[in-house]
Chains A and B, each alone.
Chain A
Amino acid sequence: MLKDSSFLNNLGEYCIDELKKIGTTNSEVVVGHSISEDMLQRNNKIEEVTRSEDISIGLTAYINQKKSSISTSNLTKDNIKKAIVRCYEMAKNTPEDQYCGLPQDQFLDKDSNNLDLFDDSIIPYENKKNYVSECEHEALVQEKIFNSNGVSFSEVKSNFLLKNSNGFSGGRKSSVFNISCDVLAKENDSMERDYEYSSKRFFKDLPEPKSIGKLAAKRAYSRLNPQKINSFTGPAVFEPRVSSSFLSHLLSSISGHNLARKVSFIKGDIGEILFQENINVIDDPLIKKGLGSKNFDSEGVSCKKLRLINAGKLNEILLDTYSGKMLRKKTNGRCGGATNCYFENGKVTKTDLIKDIKRGVYITELFGSGFNSVTGDFSKGGSGFLIENGEITYPISEITVAGNIKNMFKEMILANDLEFKSRTNSPTIKINNIIIGGK
């Protein structure tokens, strides 16, 4: 059973009291409990079953402007006491930092929105098993599918509580159900794998299992017998699964921490032109059932919807109390990062994006860590399909996609096929003039 809020509250209160007694001037505690159940079916057989239960606390002690943190999952009374002493001693020996401190404006609104993040129904094992089984079966019966990495299903239920010595106390129960189907296709000497997934707050919101299996299979067999193409410079179209990675790069580049330390390729001035005028980026923490939804951030500061990019210009950066102080701005409730972030839809369909391309690439996978957030230099491995005369033709692989992301941002044209699948979501994106490395 998931521990109830009063259990977490008592533990949290005890820590705050003890931290005060020992001599901290301020403190914060997070208590979290989670239970998860996973299963993996591979080639029609349940191959792994895992149940896990975790409870842990995180303590932050302030002695004026000095700060230190401890986390522990060893919750015997004796160990918690030791952790508190250690946390205090570490803070005492850490140099002062003028920007350290608890947030001043906190979220204490008692009737906050119910974001509908917790599925309290109990899903019988058999139901999950059937779901997984239908999903894999549908994938395995598709043409050219010869093997499976399995269908994995996980259910995570968690409860957490955040408290600080200024009187903030808040928490939330949440649940996440994940399904992922990963299969292999084979033809001649070519072997390819691919996957499809879904992640939802409520079990009943997961899509038809067959649709996931079918799509995973289609993705895998469509990649078979890829060719390597000659290097060229031209247009690339990125499907949503990969285009959302551009959004992740944008988010790290406009985080207050990176901007204050001047280690981002973006200057960070409000109004700085980053994209074409028709592009907007939204971060909305209050979407019901959203995977990144929250009423308050990891410091307890209230979260509101932000327009990060408005008409192509930088409109808001991601701030917490610390980076806010560094930049002489107020926190906007983004301690812990963005929430549910997305590019607003463009005006054209995906087909329209592709139809006037004479020779280009349709990228379905990018891999490697080739993005330098200080310079904006971007170079990753990729695979996908060749576009010729406005049509997607044959699969290609072992290519590289490179450019500077500053220029890539300015060249972006968005399609109108935005879907909310994860925390960062993007429609299909076309970028003209990108360098494709091949033969």
Chain B
Amino acid sequence: MNPDLNEFFSQENSISRKSAETIVNNTLFKCDDGELFLESTVSESLVLDDGKIKNTSYDSSKGYGLRSVNNDITTYSHSNELTEESLKQSAKVILDASKNFSGKLSSGPQKTNKHLYADVNPIEAKNFSEKIDLLNKIDKYLRSKNSYVKQVSSSIFSEYQQIEIIRPDNQSYSDKRPLVRFNVSVMVEKNGRKETGSYGTGGRKILDEYITELNWKKVCDIALKQALVNLESVDAPAGEMKVVLGPGWPGILLHEAIGHGLEGDFNRKKTSAFSNLMGQKIADEQVTVVDDGTIENRRGSITIDDEGTPTNKTVLIEKGILKNYIQDRLNARLMNVQPTGNGRRESFEHIPMPRMTNTYMLSGKYHPEEIIKSVDNGIYAVAFGGGQVDITNGKFVFSCTEAYEIKNGKIGRPLKGATLIGNGPDVLTKVKMVGNDMELDAGVGTCGKNGQWVPVGVGQPTILIDSITVGGTKN
């Protein structure tokens, strides 16, 4: 069952494309902006846990959202039942709200011929039973590999999202987005002490590209190594110290510390700690950070955003100077700049807003070993869990899940997981060395904002932060 957006305009739904377009035109022609957003998404999730398949589930959702934008006012009505009657009711919600408004319709986004991923439904690209077998193999592999392994969970998630944007000028934009994710987490127990490790991979290609024999074993090995390292970990220190962040996923630092603060909506409303810093030096010269939604097949990439704008590579910080915000159409128009292709939404049930895609720091000149060597006393953090930020005061946290002490330029004992806390506008001024080993994360990141979750990517080379507060338990 390969769903198709044209299914919306079936006889059973009693609405034709033509009459939907007419309603869109009649409702939005006096507005500044707006669109009818159609979405059909199917997803499948298979979970292995405790030595057996715990959950197999499939979800198919379909619906529309009709939006009008007048100045900075948004009216939105969505439903999963697209009929002439429901769309007319949505139109009424909008017309009621914009009764006295007469705006000038903004022109629609430029079209693109690019495709950043193949049009393929990854759920159907691999046989159900093969996926089940694979999960069972993973369980056996990890349990036989090490006798400390006491619990294994692993999951395979595949999704196929189709969207179409119909604008009041009858222009239509569409995108078909495959997405897969494969995760492993393992719990080990030794002498009564339990610890965990986890790893995952994914992106916008079919599962077979990520879970080859070689690759799934690598994912398992990384998760197991992390768990075994944690078995030997000692209490982390508390207080300010030097921290070296490894390449790849630790780029979540950029996402939390500066990425959110540079989203257009917060800056238009002047609620961000970065609101008045455009053009100013906020980081060491070695630091250049971009948000790039155009990398083929990456989890955070999209060909067009959820307003139809093609994604871009936007320079946020260039050699330490703050250069750009990331924008959706509404905030770009009100701030008098171009949209950057960052208008994203979780689904048809949500209003788009400026969101990151793949956010990363470019490589610098130092060899990672040089960076470690430069530290007398500090922490080397290589894997992280989640993070969070307060946009207004700039304070952000992120939690290590694998870290080591550094003593006299050498990596020492593993440390227990700890939260790192810093201040966005000032943390990048403390980045003193940037490595030459930029890596993107493995493709499992998800970012939440105002209750909306979207897939994202992060990346960075090895970096040294001169001073940041570590939330350990050793005083």
- Which B residues, 35 to 75, have Cβ-Cβ distances below 8 Å to chain A? 40, 49-50, 52-63, 72-75
Structural contact, B53 and A374, CB atoms closer than 8 A:
no
Structural contact, A379 and B395, CB atoms closer than 8 A:
no
- Is A188 part of the contact surface with B, judged by Cβ < 8 Å? no
Query: What is the interface of chain B, defined by CB distance below 8 A to chain A?
Result: 1, 3, 7, 10, 12-13, 40, 49-50, 52-63, 72-81, 86, 90, 93, 97, 128-129, 132, 136, 150-151, 187, 193-196, 236, 238-240, 269-271, 273, 349, 351, 385-388, 390-393, 395-399, 416-419, 421-423, 469-475
Structural contact, B80 and A398, CB atoms closer than 8 A:
no
Structural contact, B93 and A51, CB atoms closer than 8 A:
yes
Tell me which of B76, B239, B398, B421 contacts A49 (CB under 8 A). Answer: B76
Q: In the complex, A292 Cα to B397 Cα: how many Å?
A: 30
- Considering the complex, give the chain B residue whose CB is closest to the CB of A436: B238
Q: In the complex, A436 Cα to B471 Cα: how many Å?
A: 7
- Which A residues, 387 to 414, have Cβ-Cβ distances below 8 Å to chain B? 397-404
Tell me which of A56, A79, A381 contacts B471 (CB under 8 A). Answer: A381
Produce 1/0 per residue, A114-138, CB < 8 A to B: 0000000000000000000000000
A55-B81, A78-B12, A397-B393 known; A374+B194 contact, CB < 8 A:
yes
Structural contact, A70 and B392, CB atoms closer than 8 A:
no
Structural contact, A68 and B418, CB atoms closer than 8 A:
no
Structural contact, A76 and B61, CB atoms closer than 8 A:
no
Residues of A within 8 A of B388 (CB): 367-369, 381
Structural contact, B392 and A192, CB atoms closer than 8 A:
yes
Q: In the complex, A95 Cα to B475 Cα: how many Å?
A: 50
Structural contact, A94 and B62, CB atoms closer than 8 A:
no
- Considering the complex, give the chain B residue whose CB is closest to the CB of A76: B12
Structural contact, B472 and A379, CB atoms closer than 8 A:
yes
A48-B73, A401-B471 known; A191+B61 contact, CB < 8 A:
no
CB distance from B455 to the nearest CB of A (A): 18
Residues of A within 8 A of B58 (CB): 68-71, 83, 86-87, 90
Structural contact, B59 and A398, CB atoms closer than 8 A:
no
A48-B351, A379-B399, A398-B423 known; A76+B10 contact, CB < 8 A:
yes
Tell me which of B40, B75, B418 contacts A379 (CB under 8 A). Answer: B418
Tell me which of B62, B196, B271, B386 contacts A73 (CB under 8 A). Answer: B62
List the 3 closest A-B pairs by CB distance, nearest first. Answer: A400-B471, A381-B397, A368-B397
A50-B77, A379-B473, A400-B419 known; A72+B60 contact, CB < 8 A:
yes
Residues of B within 8 A of A45 (CB): 72-73
Which of A72, A91, A223, A368: most chain B CB closer than 10 A? A368
Produce 1/0 per residue, A197-212, CB < 8 A to B: 0000000000000000
- Which A residues, 241 to 270, have Cβ-Cβ distances below 8 Å to chain B? 260-263, 265
Q: In the complex, A144 Cα to B393 Cα: how many Å?
A: 15
Residues of A within 8 A of B13 (CB): 76
Structural contact, B150 and A262, CB atoms closer than 8 A:
yes
- Which A residues, 58 to 101, have Cβ-Cβ distances below 8 Å to chain B? 67-79, 82-83, 86-87, 89-91, 93-95, 97
A69-B55, A191-B392, A435-B475 known; A52+B78 contact, CB < 8 A:
yes
User: Count of A-B contacts with CB under 8 A?
Assistant: 246
Q: In the complex, A403 Cα to B313 Cα: how many Å?
A: 42
Structural contact, B472 and A402, CB atoms closer than 8 A:
yes
CB distance from B223 to the nearest CB of A (A): 14
CB distance from B393 to the nearest CB of A (A): 5
Structural contact, B129 and A368, CB atoms closer than 8 A:
no
Residues of A within 8 A of B63 (CB): 54, 73
CB distance from A286 to the nearest CB of B (A): 29
- Considering the complex, give the chain B residue whose CB is closest to the CB of A439: B240
A184-B392, A192-B392 known; A53+B239 contact, CB < 8 A:
no
Structural contact, A97 and B52, CB atoms closer than 8 A:
yes
Q: In the complex, A438 Cα to B62 Cα: how many Å?
A: 49
Residues of B within 8 A of A369 (CB): 385-388, 399
Residues of B within 8 A of A438 (CB): 239-240, 469
Structural contact, B349 and A379, CB atoms closer than 8 A:
no
- Considering the complex, give the chain B residue whose CB is closest to the CB of A372: B417
Residues of B within 8 A of A67 (CB): 56
Residues of A within 8 A of B97 (CB): 49
- Considering the complex, give the chain A residue whose CB is closest to the CB of B398: A368
- Considering the complex, give the chain B residue whose CB is closest to the CB of A77: B12
Residues of B within 8 A of A232 (CB): 475
Residues of B within 8 A of A52 (CB): 77-79, 349
Task: Given contacts A48-B76, A53-B81, A191-B392, list 9 more A-B pairs with CB under 8 A.
Answer: A50-B76, A69-B57, A82-B1, A184-B392, A379-B399, A381-B396, A402-B238, A435-B474, A436-B238
Tell me which of A83, A372, A398 contacts B469 (CB under 8 A). Answer: A398
Structural contact, B79 and A53, CB atoms closer than 8 A:
yes
Q: In the complex, A195 Cα to B11 Cα: how many Å?
A: 48
Structural contact, B73 and A402, CB atoms closer than 8 A:
no
CB distance from A405 to the nearest CB of B (A): 12
Structural contact, B79 and A54, CB atoms closer than 8 A:
yes
Structural contact, B56 and A368, CB atoms closer than 8 A:
no
Residues of A within 8 A of B475 (CB): 231-233, 435
- Is A276 part of the contact surface with B, judged by Cβ < 8 Å? no
Structural contact, A68 and B56, CB atoms closer than 8 A:
yes
- Is A370 part of the contact surface with B, judged by Cβ < 8 Å? yes
Structural contact, B61 and A375, CB atoms closer than 8 A:
no
Can you report 27 A-B residue pairs in the complex whose CB atoms are below 8 A from each other? A50-B76, A50-B78, A51-B90, A53-B86, A69-B58, A71-B58, A72-B60, A73-B61, A76-B7, A76-B10, A78-B12, A97-B53, A193-B390, A226-B393, A231-B238, A370-B417, A375-B195, A377-B416, A377-B417, A379-B399, A379-B419, A383-B395, A398-B422, A400-B469, A400-B472, A436-B238, A437-B239
- Is A11 part of the contact surface with B, judged by Cβ < 8 Å? no
Q: In the complex, A381 Cα to B132 Cα: how many Å?
A: 40
Q: In the complex, A233 Cα to B474 Cα: how many Å?
A: 9
Residues of A within 8 A of B80 (CB): 53-56, 73-75
Q: In the complex, A193 Cα to B86 Cα: how many Å?
A: 39
- Is A147 part of the contact surface with B, judged by Cβ < 8 Å? yes
Q: In the complex, A437 Cα to B7 Cα: how many Å?
A: 57
- Considering the complex, give the chain B residue whose CB is closest to the CB of A230: B239
Q: In the complex, A304 Cα to B136 Cα: how many Å?
A: 38
- Considering the complex, give the chain B residue whose CB is closest to the CB of A43: B269
Residues of A within 8 A of B417 (CB): 370, 372, 377, 379
Structural contact, B472 and A184, CB atoms closer than 8 A:
no
- Is A214 part of the contact surface with B, judged by Cβ < 8 Å? no
Produce 1/0 per residue, A217-232, CB < 8 A to B: 0000001001010111
Structural contact, A380 and B73, CB atoms closer than 8 A:
no
Structural contact, B238 and A435, CB atoms closer than 8 A:
yes
- Considering the complex, give the chain B residue whose CB is closest to the CB of A152: B450
Residues of B within 8 A of A97 (CB): 52-54
Produce 1/0 per residue, A297-331, CB < 8 A to B: 00000000000000000000000000000000000
A69-B57, A76-B10, A402-B419 known; A374+B239 contact, CB < 8 A:
no
- Considering the complex, give the chain A residue whose CB is closest to the CB of B49: A261
Q: In the complex, A76 Cα to B13 Cα: how many Å?
A: 8
CB distance from A371 to the nearest CB of B (A): 9
Residues of B within 8 A of A400 (CB): 238, 397, 418-419, 421, 469-472
- Considering the complex, give the chain B residue whose CB is closest to the CB of A149: B271
CB distance from A217 to the nearest CB of B (A): 14
Structural contact, A149 and B269, CB atoms closer than 8 A:
yes
Structural contact, A49 and B81, CB atoms closer than 8 A:
no
- Is A294 part of the contact surface with B, judged by Cβ < 8 Å? no
Which of A53, A86, A184: most chain B CB closer than 10 A? A53
Tell me which of A73, A262, A367, A379 contacts B390 (CB under 8 A). Answer: A367
Q: In the complex, A128 Cα to B395 Cα: how many Å?
A: 34
Structural contact, A74 and B61, CB atoms closer than 8 A:
yes
- Is A419 part of the contact surface with B, judged by Cβ < 8 Å? no
Tell me which of A193, A231, A233, A262 contacts B392 (CB under 8 A). Answer: A193
A72-B60, A76-B10, A368-B388 known; A437+B470 contact, CB < 8 A:
yes
Q: In the complex, A253 Cα to B53 Cα: how many Å?
A: 22
- Considering the complex, give the chain A residue whose CB is closest to the CB of B93: A51
A72-B61, A193-B393, A374-B187 known; A263+B151 contact, CB < 8 A:
yes
